[in-house]
Amino acid sequence: MSTHPPSPVPIAPSPVLSGDARSDFDLTESELHACLDLAAGIKSSPKSYSRALDGMVVSLLFEKPSLRTRITFEVAAKQLGGDSILYTGPIGGREPVKDVARNLERWTSMIVARTFSQTTVDELAAWSSSPVINALSDLYHPCQALADMLTLREHWGGFDGRTLAFVGDGNNVAHSLMLDCARLGVNFTCITPPGYEPSMEILAAARRFAAATGAAIRSTDSLEVGLAGANAVYTDVWASMGQEHEAAERARLFASYQVNAALMSMAAPGALFMHCLPAHREEETTDEVMESPVSVIFDQAENRLHAQKSLMLMLACGDKKD
């Protein structure tokens, strides 16, 4: 067996990871597998990639607060031999987004955008000749999903026959997870209160991907149906950033969907517990579950670093001019 770490596979011609299944900018099934393979190689041999982004500077545009996303992208750029610069505040507030994009492409090699709206990410990508990474929008959280798939592969050893159940709001994390599960052949069930289902358009796109891999992609309001046979149970906050005014009403409607010991017992024996963090302990999940032996929440957080390094390398490789 070769001991050489994997080399980046170029992502081309795509300049952006939007997470948007309706565009040409999403990772293909083969690119997704390659990204996970490279992430595993980086994790096992980080020094082999310590000069991979030598001389490159990454723009971090953050409209929303962040711990994991900001720190992991900053650390990733530095550990790959590059650097990053952070801008916080509205994107396109003082000048049009198309002008922001065309300024940044002159100074930096890549744009990472954490935005309130997917349209901001799409507009940056449309006007920038440098790669654009969606670090979170209202519709998608593709970098989180990449880290989650890496975490599941590490714990499961593979994806065949496995099922991931997402419990709570059919939000941006749920959307990216279902798209990745569909392309990797992982069965996915989104379990939500009535009225909080994932986007029907994104669900339909995931099912089109799943037609090629054999994955079952479902949406239901039944905990019993959705959790049966689940090998991992995933939850997220009930009210995301920008939805704080709905928090009280959501807390009432989502109360029976709290991931606690009783709910975990409805899944397959030994099912993993997952959360993208930050968590509201004793709301969407309990401290008991978060601190239990089946919790992999900090493996997920660590793997944000490795998955994002992999993505940055693949995009940088694909963006090189002959």
Residue ranges covered by each domain of the chain: 16-141+304-316, 144-300
Residue 185's SS3 state is: coil
Residue 73's SS3 state is: helix
What is the 8-class DSSP label of residue 50?
T
Is the Cβ–Cβ distance between 192 and 221 less than 8 Å? yes
- Chain center to CA of 199: 17
- pLDDT per residue rounded down to tens, the chain (322 residues): 445 678 887 664 344 455 554 444 478 889 999 999 999 999 999 999 999 999 999 999 999 999 999 999 999 999 999 999 999 999 998 999 999 999 999 999 999 999 999 999 999 999 999 999 999 999 999 999 999 999 999 999 999 999 999 999 999 999 999 999 999 999 999 999 999 999 999 999 999 999 999 999 999 999 999 999 999 999 999 987 777 888 899 999 999 999 999 999 999 999 999 999 999 999 999 999 999 999 999 999 999 999 999 999 999 987 754 3
Class at the top of the CATH hierarchy for domain 144-300: alpha beta
**Residue 81 backbone phi and psi in degrees, to 5:** 95, 0
What is the 8-class DSSP label of residue 56?
-
Closest CA to 85 of 115, 119, 62: 62
Catalytic residues: 114, 141, 144, 236, 276, 304
Class at the top of the CATH hierarchy for domain 16-141+304-316: alpha beta
The string of pLDDT tens digits covering residues 176-227 is: 999 999 999 999 999 999 999 999 999 999 999 999 999 999 999 999 999 9
- Chain center to CA of 218: 19
Task: Count Cβ neighbours within 10 Å for each residue of 54-80 and write b for 16 or more, e otherwise.
Answer: eebebbbbbbbebebbbebbbebbebb
pTM: 0.94
Closest CA to 189 of 222, 214, 156: 222
- Pair of tokens at residue 88: 């916080």
Rounded CA-CA distance 234/182 in Å is: 16
Is the Cβ–Cβ distance between 9 and 33 less than 8 Å? no
